[in-house]
Amino acid sequence: METKIKLVQGDITKEQVDAIVNAANSQLIGGLGVDGAIRRAGGSEIDRACDEIRARQGGCPTGEAVITTGGNLPAKYVIHTVGPIWRGGNSGESELLASCYRESLSLALDNRVKTIAFPSISTGIYGYPIDKAAAVALSAVKEFLMQGDGIGEVRFVLFDDSTYRGYEQALSALEGQT
Ligand code: ADP
């Protein structure tokens, strides 16, 4: 089971997978961080697809996910999920963050995605502490993968050293538990 989860350090826009996940905002309006990088690399098709979703359903609530084309990216799809803003930990943040990973994987399954790459959702501008976010992210993904075998590989593509190290530690803690 663990072999299905891989950690890599790098730029998610370069990943050769069926779908990459974006840490979006609830308005689905282009932002900074990984959102800006994905939209720059993927081009205006992604912006247009997000505009259409906003017109249809008013955006995307925190903890949920929507899917668009990958535009010019190597990935066929971008799954946009809205992570919680860190407010100290007693505002349902961990449940909402776990929901982001579950909802993204469930949309991936619906679209026959076999390989998917996640960034570290909520740990940039939204301020979620890396160690806590990594533990939530990895256990949510692991639990989802245990329920079925539609997804072949989940990669976490971590941009900087400290984020990568946080996920490495959380993964070995999780593996130690089993
Ligand atoms: P949020 O608003 O959910 O906190 P951010 O985009 O601010 O989202 O940050 C989420 C994570 O994505 C951070 O760890 C940030 O360093 C990382 N990140 C930024 N650019 C990229 C990229 N091109 N590929 C992968 N991760 C990235």
By DSSP bridging, strand 19-24 and strand 77-82 are parallel
Are the CB atoms for 89 and 99 separated by under 8 Å? no
Residue 124 CB less than 6 A away from ligand 1? yes
Conformation bin of residue 72: beta by default, left when phi > 0, alpha when psi is -120 to 50 = alpha
Nearest CA to ligand 1 atom 7: 124
Active site (catalytic) residues: 35
Which of 61, 66, 53 shows the shortest CA–CA distance to 84? 61
Nearest to 113 by CA among 15, 8, 11: 15
Nearest-CA residue for ligand 1 atom 18 is 34
3-state secondary structure 32-74: CHHHHHHHHHHCHHHHHHHHHHHHHHCCCCCCCEEEEECCCCC
Q: Within 13 Å and on the Cβ side, how many CA atoms surround 155?
A: 22
pTM for the complete prediction?
0.97
User: What is the full DSSP assignment across 94-112?
Assistant: HHHHHHHHHHHHHHHHHTT
Using the mean position of ligand 1's atoms as its centre, give its distance from the Cα of residue 23 in Å. 7
Q: Are 19 and 113 in contact (CB under 8 A)?
A: yes
Nearest in space to 142 (alpha carbons), one of 44, 91, 134, 85: 134
Ligand 1 center from residue 34 Cα (angstroms): 4
Are 111 and 77 within 8 A, CB to CB?
A: yes
Find out whether 28 and 65 touch, Cβ atoms under 8 Å: no
List per-residue pLDDT tens for the chain, 178 residues long: 446 999 999 999 999 999 999 999 999 999 899 999 999 999 999 999 999 999 999 999 999 999 999 999 999 999 999 999 999 999 999 999 999 999 999 999 999 999 999 999 999 999 999 999 999 999 999 999 999 889 999 999 999 999 999 999 999 999 887 5
Q: List domains and CATH numbers for the chain.
A: 4-176 (3.40.220.10)
Residue of the CA atom closest to atom 3 of ligand 1: 122
Counting from 1 in the atom list of ligand 1, the atom nearest the Cα of 126 is 4
